[in-house]
Amino acid sequence: MPYTPHTEYDRTAMLSELNLSSTDELFREIPENLRVQKGSLSLPNALSEYEIEKHLFRLSRLNRSSFDLISFLGAGMYDRYIPSTVSAMISRGEFLTAYTPYQPEASQGSLQTIYEFQTMIAELFGTDLANASMYDGATSMAEAAIVAHGINGRNTIAVSDLIHPHHRQVLNTYCWAIGLKTEVVPSVNGVCKLPEVGDQFACIVVGHPNFLGNLEDLSAVREWCNASGSQMIVSTDPIACALLKPPGEFGADFVVGEGQCLGVAMGLGGPAVGLFGCKQEHIRRIPGRIVGKTKEVHGDQEGYVMTLRTREQDIRREKATSNICTNEALMALANTVYLCAVGKNGIKQVAEASLRNSRYLQSKLEAIGMKKVDSSRYFCEFAVDLGKNAAPIVDRMLERGFLAGLALGEYYPARENQLLVATTEKRNKEEIDQYVSELAAEVGR
Amino acid sequence: MNQEFAGIKKRVPSPKLVFEKSSPGRVGCNLPSITTPEVDLNQELGETRSELHLPELSELEVVRHFTNLSHINYGIETGFYPLGSCTMKYNPKINERVAGLSGFTQLHPMQPVSTYPGAIEVMVQVQEFLAELTGFDAISLQPVAGAHGEMTCLMLMKAYHAAKGQGSRRIILVPDSAHGTNPASAARCGYEVKAVPTDANGNSDVAALKGILDGLGSEIAGLMLTNPSTLGLFETQIEEICQLIHNIGGLVFCDGANMNAMVGTTRPGDHGFDCMHLNLHKTFSTPHGGGGPGCGAIGVKQELVPFLPSPIVCRNSNGMAQLDFERPESIGRVSPYFGQFLMEVRALAYLLSYGKEHIHLISECAVLNANYVQEKLKKVLPPAFDRPCTHECVLTAEKYKKEFGVRALDISKRLIDYGFHPPTNYFPLIVPEAMMIEPTETECKETLDKFCEALILICEEASVQPDLLHQAPTSQIVGRLDETLAVKQLNVRWKPST
């Protein structure tokens, strides 16, 4: 085995140092009845590197990816262009194979990139600060809700029904386990209809853009939170934040989101990366790692360390702000490289291209009588009414070479005829024209 | 210092932040051009943002920035990384190649299920492999990190007790040597935590456990136990412990952080555990990435299967891999999709490279290496317990603290000057001046010898020149950093000068 270097000679020498004659004796403390006979497990046979590559290549070819299909599917994960610099930088062994930077002197590379990450996410979100990342957009949101409960002691989490349905399911699981209630806030015209002001709500969670791509009235949400004494949590899309007035500037206490769109492969959903920003006043309550700038003890050189460590599980144990330990550092690094590579102007271009493509798509669809369902403002994704059940259309559009979008009926039964379509900067006019004509043929327009 | 180890101080200026390298108008990526008509952004979006302070660099500047930062970062590929409890083994390159195949990377998690049978097959193959290795009836790959897997297992326990009308069980037992994530995960599930002490041999104190169970049995939901323990010792009475917990109606969770000691040699499912988590990023060689992504599969016995996160990935009666969403008793989703899919691909490549024939080599060589290091160091750094260790050894530097005012951390920092990453310090909490060394199976004898030699030299230095250790490291771009100052003068982001 190439990964286990001991030769017979090494093994014998090491065993003799231990006064043992066989490796079996190393396990003498394990009761005999609990030991496995070598080679007796019912497992596949070992493969050579070439055979492994062939096996996995063949499995990969059974899938139809966004290289095979033209994608208009978004719904929280986006088919965006990943610059070649991103994969090159995150593949560097010094980053890829490092542990969490517990030894700062030997980890300044990771630590500085995290400080840069925190800066860029806080900037995009318009928040005072951001942490060093969470698992994904869903758990980031659930963690924010739990922090909100810790701030005001209230037990009900109000969550818009236009938060990603899977994210709401994760929130429900987290809340059930820790003993909190969730209350779903209904929507009208594709945006959240704020509930009556009430002192039972720890927080309200809204999407901006929401699951249907629409933009919420965040000023109204802020006013509602002021009146209710609740925390304001906004789940956002960092690409949209390149153009929009960011949620933090509307006074959101917590801004969370999925960072996959910033240079991370969709990868069937993982690894993704959770973004988490908040107001300064909450910093001692938040989950996850935070990197701060400091100086040498015996010198003037500046450097970076993980800070406010007493929030974390390895120190505070059951009183920690969260149980999170390993986060998504490598994906956060991918976000950092992405944001440096596209830069200030590139991210605006990506956002504007996505928006313009969606407006063009909307106009082409309207020309064949397929209307955007809600009249609310939106970023680059919207629900369109096909006039018939959307789910079978999605399946049939595969044969025409398209991932047509998400049929909404599964999640919102009243929207059975609606298709959620998204355009990223990867789509172009020609593809959109082709998509609309194929969709028209499929639906019979 | 021995010349062979002499490190050269990295005399590079403190690297600038990327924001300080920015020049208005530079672009670092050749993006797709926009082909659709212009629109009025303000009209479309309502309020737009006024400023956006992101860097503007050329592509080469971006590449140099991160390449130079990588040079002041230590990874497994830089050198020996004996960080106890973290299993810093080699991350094979073939794993990266297959995980980069576009048929895996370019899959949207909400595209029709019919379009990714190959991905589902990957997940099922990983599950089948892990189930057989651990002795559990079913595996879920949905948890995305170790702590997430622990928490998911506790959620399963909670659902299990609730289904039996025993939702009032409010206590989770956790040994005093446990990882901090154990009590923190229990708190996340609304449980109270009660500690189980360790006995004089480094095992869980069974007599004390019995005492706790006698008094509180009906209120106890379960026990979280790391096996081998965080002391690097196999719990020799594991079957009895599990039986005791089962007798009072509780369940036993195995913290799988130390699975590397058991791969192919012994199976937690056979020990009596009801569920466990695995760290694919430790035991099964997916890279740590500087703090993630983790990948935290869980294994469960039949009684917990109904509660597993939905959907589950399984084979149908024809052997076809499929997704099952019909899970009425499921706790729901713990993450939005299928867990860390691309990490699962890496783990499968790794498992297949060992296969049935060689899989036991993992624990065999890991345990051999740890015992070898423990033996070679025992004169200068005695083990906390004089027993054969498993995949890691826990040593104590108490003597140096008492005699020379040198702490475990000082010894560790000095190791950096000798070119090695330090071991884990001050954990487990019950060992004074703990140094927890986990060599892993991928290190050769020469590396271990050199590491031991360095530690022996450092222990000598501790007695004659303790200040060398107090001031270490001196070979890196920065010396020891002021963590108190970092908390006092919080600076967690760069801000543009106004």
Q: How far is CA A420 from CA A213, B353, B489, in A?
A: 9, 42, 47
Give the CATH architecture of domain B107-357.
3-Layer(aba) Sandwich (3.40)
pLDDT band at B321 (very low <50, low <70, confident <90, very high): very high
Over residues A219-246, the mean pLDDT reads: 98
DSSP B361-416: HHHHHHHHHHHHHHHHHTTTS-BSSSS--SS-EEEE-HHHHHHH---HHHHHHHHH
Task: Of A346, A293, A311, give the one whose Cα is nearest residue B31.
Answer: A346
C-alpha Rg value of chain B to the nearest Å: 25
**Predicted ipTM of the assembly:** 0.97
pLDDT band at B304 (very low <50, low <70, confident <90, very high): very high
B45-79 burial code (b ≥16 CB/10 A, e <16): bebebeebebbbbbbebbbebbeebbbbbbbbbbe
Per-domain boundaries in chain A: 70-81+344-443, 84-336
The pLDDT of residue B5: 61
Q: Do A206 and A193 form a contact (C-beta atoms < 8 A)?
A: no
Give Cβ neighbours of residue B323 (< 8 Å, ≥ 6 apart): B113, B120, B311, B312, B313
Is A344 in Cβ contact with B352 (below 8 Å)?
no
pLDDT band at B4 (very low <50, low <70, confident <90, very high): low
- The label of the residue with tokens 């090491």 reads A14
Over residues B25-32, the mean pLDDT reads: 95
Give Cβ neighbours of residue A327 (< 8 Å, ≥ 6 apart): A132, A133, A134, A135, A274, A288, A289, B145, B291, B292
**Residue B102 with chain A: CB contacts under 8 Å:** 60, 65, 67
The pLDDT of residue B1: 53
A226-246 burial code (b ≥16 CB/10 A, e <16): eebebbbbbbbbbbbbbbbbb
Calpha distance A379→A210 (Å, rounded): 9
Inter-chain contacts counted by CB atoms under 8 A, chains A and B: 692
Q: How far is CA A319 from CA A130, A140, A301, A323, B23, in A?
A: 22, 19, 34, 9, 45
pLDDT band at B82 (very low <50, low <70, confident <90, very high): very high
Q: Highest mean pLDDT range out of A33-42, A357-366, B8-17? A: A357-366
Is A98 in Cβ contact with B76 (below 8 Å)?
yes
A254, β-bridge pairs: A233, A278
* pLDDT tens per residue across span A165-207: 999 999 999 999 999 999 999 999 999 999 999 999 999 999 9
% of chain B exceeding 90 in pLDDT: 95
Task: Of A277, A280, A305, give the one whose Cα is nearest residue A291.
Answer: A305
Calpha distance A4→A43 (Å, rounded): 19
Sign for the CA dihedral angle at A136, B282, B388, B448 comes to negative
* pLDDT tens per residue across span B417-458: 999 999 999 999 899 999 999 999 999 999 999 999 999 999
Q: Which two tokens stand for residue A119?
A: 């800066």
Is A98 in Cβ contact with B116 (below 8 Å)?
no
Main-chain phi, psi angles of B198, to 5 degrees: -105, 140
- The label of the residue with tokens 């884990």 reads B424
Over residues B326-348, the mean pLDDT reads: 97
Average pLDDT, chain A: 97
CA B217 to chain CA centroid, Å, is 32
Calpha distance A192→A162 (Å, rounded): 7
The pLDDT of residue B15: 86
Instruction: Indicate if the pLDDT at residue B13 is higher than 70.
Output: no
- Give the amino acid at A291: V
Average pLDDT, chain B: 95
Calpha distance B475→B177 (Å, rounded): 34
Over residues A322-338, the mean pLDDT reads: 96
Calpha distance B5→B330 (Å, rounded): 56
**Which residues in chain B (41-100) have CB-CB distances under 8 A to chain A?**
41, 44-50, 52-57, 59, 62-63, 65-67, 69-78, 81, 83, 86, 88-92, 94, 96-98, 100
- Residue A321, min C-alpha distance to chain B (Å): 8
Is B48 in Cβ contact with A104 (below 8 Å)?
no
Calpha distance A155→A414 (Å, rounded): 30
Give the CATH architecture of domain A70-81+344-443.
Alpha-Beta Complex (3.90)
Quote the DSSP letter at residue B190: T
Q: Do A263 and A283 form a contact (C-beta atoms < 8 A)?
A: no
The three-class DSSP label of residue A236 is strand
What number of CA atoms fall less than 13 Å from residue A377's CA on the CB side? 17
CATH fold label, B360-475: Aspartate Aminotransferase, domain 1 (3.90.1150)
The three-class DSSP label of residue B228 is coil
Q: Which of A73, A77, A313 sits opposite B180 (nearest CB)?
A: A313
Q: Name which residue leads in pLDDT, A81 or B47.
A: A81
- The label of the residue with tokens 């939702």 reads B167
Pairing of strands B220-226, B393-396: unpaired
The three-class DSSP label of residue A208 is strand
Main-chain phi, psi angles of A381, to 5 degrees: -145, 140
Check CB contact of B388 with chain A, cutoff 8 Å.
yes
What number of CA atoms fall less than 13 Å from residue A378's CA on the CB side? 29
Instruction: Tell me how long chain A is.
Output: 445
DSSP B302-346: GGGGGGSPSSEEEE-TTS-EEEE---TT----SSSSSSSHHHHHH
Q: Do B316 and B329 form a contact (C-beta atoms < 8 A)?
A: no
Q: Which two tokens stand for residue A177?
A: 């386990």
Pairing of strands B312-315, B321-324: antiparallel
- Give the amino acid at A6: H
Q: Do A292 and A304 form a contact (C-beta atoms < 8 A)?
A: yes
Is A268 in Cβ contact with B368 (below 8 Å)?
no
Q: Do A264 and A273 form a contact (C-beta atoms < 8 A)?
A: yes
**Residue A41 with chain B: CB contacts under 8 Å:** 132-133, 264, 356, 359
Instruction: Kindly tell me the burial class for residue B302, based on how many C-beta atoms sit within 10 Å of its own C-beta (0-12, 13-18, 19 or more).
Output: exposed
* pLDDT tens per residue across span B449-487: 999 999 999 999 999 999 999 999 999 999 999 999 999
pLDDT band at B153 (very low <50, low <70, confident <90, very high): very high
Over residues B277-303, the mean pLDDT reads: 97
Q: Which two tokens stand for residue B201?
A: 């041999």
Main-chain phi, psi angles of A332, to 5 degrees: -65, -35
Comma-separated ranges of CATH 3.90.1150.10 domains in chain B: 360-475
Calpha distance A15→A17 (Å, rounded): 5
**Residue A304 with chain B: CB contacts under 8 Å:** 481
The pLDDT of residue A313: 83
Q: Which one of B111, B371, B480 makes the best mutation probe of the A interface by having the most chain A beta carbons within 10 Å?
A: B111
Comma-separated ranges of CATH 3.40.640.10 domains in chain B: 107-357
pLDDT band at B7 (very low <50, low <70, confident <90, very high): low
The three-class DSSP label of residue B103 is helix
Instruction: Tell me how long chain B is.
Output: 498
The pLDDT of residue B337: 97
Q: Which of A63, A96, A173 sits opposite B107 (nearest CB)?
A: A63
The pLDDT of residue B498: 66
- Residue B402, min C-alpha distance to chain A (Å): 23
The pLDDT of residue B420: 97
Check CB contact of B320 with chain A, cutoff 8 Å.
no
Is B331 in Cβ contact with A294 (below 8 Å)?
no
Main-chain phi, psi angles of B494, to 5 degrees: -80, 145
The pLDDT of residue A1: 80
The pLDDT of residue A268: 98
Calpha distance A211→A208 (Å, rounded): 8
Sign for the CA dihedral angle at A327, A103, B383, A11 comes to positive
Q: How far is CA B234 from CA A21, B107, B199, B471, in A?
A: 21, 42, 13, 37
Instruction: Indicate if the pLDDT at residue B3 is higher than 70.
Output: no
Calpha distance B426→B424 (Å, rounded): 7
Main-chain phi, psi angles of A293, to 5 degrees: -90, 145
Is B46 in Cβ contact with A377 (below 8 Å)?
yes
The pLDDT of residue A191: 97
Instruction: Indicate if the pLDDT at residue B14 is higher than 80.
Output: no
CATH fold label, A84-336: Aspartate Aminotransferase; domain 2 (3.40.640)
Q: Do A376 and A208 form a contact (C-beta atoms < 8 A)?
A: no
A207, β-bridge pairs: A235
* pLDDT tens per residue across span B193-233: 999 999 999 999 999 999 999 999 999 999 999 999 999 99
